[in-house]
Structure 1
Amino acid sequence: MAFEGGERGTTDERLTARLRTGVGERLGTSDEHDTLVGVLFCLPNLVAFSIFLLGPVLYAFYISFHEWNILANEGTWIGIQNYVAVLQPAPWANDWAPLTDPTANTFWYSLKTTVVYAIGTVPLQIYGGLAVALMLDKRVRGKKVYRAAFFMPMMLSGAASAVMWRWFLAADGIINSLLPSFLEHNWAGDPGTALMGVMLMAVWGGIGGNMIFFLAGLQNIPEELYEAARIDGATGWHRFRHVTWPNLGNTNFFVIVMAIISAFQVFGIALVFSQGGPYYATTTTVLLVYQRAFEEGAMGYGAAMAFLLFCLIFAFSYYQYKNRDQAEVGY
């Protein structure tokens, strides 16, 4: 467990500092030299990030203030009109019609669809991955086979998964062939159930990835903590609550944030599964950005929607980071 008092830690830190200073003097290096070497090692990644990621993002932000012609690669400055057009009419100013009628405001309707998708998939992906990881972390016969089976959906491309699941959920698909005749339904073609099909596909594909992260976190928990808990008479639930869960704090934070970001950025499976239909039932925000910007040519309008979505994701991620438990478990 963590040492009480700071004497041992202070002594170790002083010894480490002296060793580093001595080695640096023998090699003719200094702290400034080490910093420069670190910057030089990071420089290629920083250059690639600036050119291929940061640069296009800033350019898209610039385009969002224009009525942009993608063929001529030029535009007319219109200020914040694209942002106003995206947000108007606001749901609260129009009897919440944009949340129920896609023709009132497609952006708000697609944002509602994305939120419903996130609420329906993220908890199942996270807790499903944790449950599978807990089972496979034990001594189970054929554990490697089970791990590969659960991770296999992650190895398929989103397009292949969407085509496969659309075939499963079609009116003449495999799902209906296994159901009684009175339960048969066109799951992929009905606006009331199409989004559920996309969510089912996302959960099926997301559990395996989260399982890997949780397995890595579980294997970093010292076995001595479990042995001490057993000696104290802790039940399986108490060992999970007081040993496993606190030690998975950083893993939980990472998995939750990444799962929500991924849910708000869902695009490929919705596009291939039903191209946003039927009747906007699976039109997520990123899919709407693609349709407006590349299919309809309204690049400025699409860029404005993209940055509004970015602000929403950034605000949530920052909130999670600021409010997460910063305390780390010491051994």
Structure 2
Amino acid sequence: MGAGEDRVSGTTAISNARSYLRSTSRSVSTKLGLEDQNNLAGFGFILPNLVVFSIFLLGPVLYAFYLSFQHWNLFLGEGEWAWTTILGIRLPVQNYVDVLTPPPWANDWASFRSPSYNLWWFAFRNTVAYTVVVVPCQIIGGFLLALVLDSRIRGKKVFRAAYFMPVMLSSAASGVIWRWLLAKNGAVNEVLRPLGLAHGWANDPSTALGALMLIGLWGGIGFNMILYLAGLQNIPEELYEAARIDGASGWSRIRHVTWPNLRNTHFFVTVLAIIGTFQVFGIALVFAEGGPHHATTTVVLHIYRTAFANSSYGLGAAMAFLLFSVIFVFSYYQYRLRQQQEVEY
């Protein structure tokens, strides 16, 4: 009798276990099915953008990279591989060699002093100088403006709109406006002439690049101001209250509370500013057309003229990918630096 009851209870336990396994597997399969459906639905939403991205952006980029290894004439629509021999190995990299040689240190850094040796390195020098001056000034100027406009002042919405107005103008419009303002008989010289300081700012090789930097500052500070204003509004007010209780002055609160808590904004602003200044093109073309004597010729302007004015598309594509490499290195360095700062905090 006891043995029969044990067999019955054992059979019941096995049956219950099988039922549990069936229900569990059914629920798991249902869950997996829902997850698959959600994944497919998400993929369906991004598919149109993915197709557009591949056709109109990724495809042309890959094709331009392919053409950078060829002597390609844009108007004839034909070309041949740009072969050269490096260390006994035959490679289709003649375009890259032509761009980078002679190196900037040859002839006592002649390529940095005169565009007649190597216009690529001279344009690169102009672009780096523009970036080194404009980026820090844009960041500091945007940050200080954001601090002022985040305080309790009257008419701050009007000031925000006024400072952001240059960002809304196209680079062509900005170039035309400043070309008129800085002309020999322009508004700026009309003010400076009584002081004996009138000058042809855009026509002098020694001042043309500085004038271009001024335009870059005018157009970029307002954009950084908006980004910093957004970051300031995300800092908890309790941190400032605690700093005031501890007796921190206004400068101390900015240094120890505001600045550290904007590190993500700093990273974003810096990367965007570096990319934007390395790609400066429109204002350089419209303001002084790269002159005088290539004083305002930037890398992107040089690429444009090489590819489209001289119809050397392969050479221009090689320059474009060299510029991409430089921007990528700067962006990656900033990313790694931000990661280290996050670990420290």
Q: TM-score, normalised by structure 2?
A: 0.85
Which of 241, 245, 249 is equivalent to 2:255?
241
1:187 aligns with 2:201: yes
Q: 2:46 is matched by which residue type in structure 1?
A: C
Judged with a 3 Å threshold, the aligned counterparts in structure 2 of structure 1 residues 329 and 225 are, in CA distance, closer, same or farther, namely: farther
Which of 33, 52, 55 is equivalent to 1:51?
55
Counterpart residue number, 1:4: none
Q: 2:258 is matched by which residue type in structure 1?
A: T
Counterpart residue number, 1:319: 333
The alpha-carbon deviation at position 27 of structure 1 amounts to 9.3
Q: 1:282 is matched by which residue type in structure 2?
A: T
Cα deviations across residues 209-257 of structure 1 (Å, max 9, x unaligned)? 0011000000011111111111121111221122111111111000000
Counterpart residue number, 2:268: 254
Q: Whole-Å Cα distance in 1 between the matches of residues 273 and 36 of structure 2?
A: 39
Q: Whole-Å Cα distance in 1 between the matches of residues 151 and 45 of structure 2?
A: 40
Counterpart residue number, 2:71: 67
**Conservation of the 8 A alpha-carbon contact between 1:102 and 1:280:** yes
Residue aligned with 2:47, SS: helix
1:283 aligns with 2:297: yes
Q: 1:135 is matched by which residue type in structure 2?
A: V
Q: Whole-Å Cα distance in 2 between the matches of residues 120 and 242 of structure 1?
A: 26
Residue aligned with 1:276, SS: coil
The alpha-carbon deviation at position 303 of structure 1 amounts to 0.7
The alpha-carbon deviation at position 32 of structure 1 amounts to 4.0
**Conservation of the 8 A alpha-carbon contact between 1:137 and 1:218:** yes
Q: Whole-Å Cα distance in 2 between the matches of residues 153 and 26 of structure 1?
A: 56
Structure 2 matches for 1:121-270, cutoff 5 A? Answer: 121-179=134-192, 180=194, 182-270=196-284
Counterpart residue number, 1:6: none
Identity of aligned residues (%): 61
**Conservation of the 8 A alpha-carbon contact between 1:247 and 1:329:** no
**Conservation of the 8 A alpha-carbon contact between 1:83 and 1:301:** yes
Q: CA RMSD in A?
A: 2.0
Structure 2 matches for 1:33-52, cutoff 5 A? Answer: 33-52=37-56
The alpha-carbon deviation at position 328 of structure 1 amounts to 8.2
Q: TM-score, normalised by structure 1?
A: 0.88
Q: 2:178 is matched by which residue type in structure 1?
A: W
- Structure 2 gap segments, 5+ residues each: 1-27, 83-91
**Which structure would you say has the larger Rg?**
2
**Conservation of the 8 A alpha-carbon contact between 1:246 and 1:329:** no
Q: 2:113 is matched by which residue type in structure 1?
A: T
Q: Whole-Å Cα distance in 2 between the matches of residues 231 and 153 of structure 1?
A: 40
Q: 2:121 is matched by which residue type in structure 1?
A: W
The alpha-carbon deviation at position 26 of structure 1 amounts to 10
Q: Whole-Å Cα distance in 1 between the matches of residues 78 and 226 of structure 2?
A: 46
1:273 aligns with 2:287: yes
- Structure 1 gap segments, 5+ residues each: 1-23
Q: Whole-Å Cα distance in 2 between the matches of residues 68 and 181 of structure 1?
A: 54
Which of 89, 93, 103 is equivalent to 2:102?
89
Q: Whole-Å Cα distance in 1 between the matches of residues 96 and 313 of structure 2?
A: 12
Counterpart residue number, 2:88: none
The alpha-carbon deviation at position 137 of structure 1 amounts to 0.5
Q: Whole-Å Cα distance in 2 between the matches of residues 279 and 197 of structure 1?
A: 15
Counterpart residue number, 2:14: none
Residue aligned with 1:120, SS: helix
Mean CA deviation greater in 256-265 or 66-75: 66-75
Judged with a 3 Å threshold, the aligned counterparts in structure 2 of structure 1 residues 31 and 164 are, in CA distance, closer, same or farther, namely: same
Number of corresponding residues? 307
Counterpart residue number, 1:15: none
Counterpart residue number, 1:298: 312
Mean CA deviation greater in 174-183 or 107-116: 174-183
Mean CA deviation greater in 24-33 or 79-88: 24-33
**Conservation of the 8 A alpha-carbon contact between 1:191 and 1:278:** yes
Which has the larger helix fraction? Answer: 2
Q: 1:116 is matched by which residue type in structure 2?
A: A
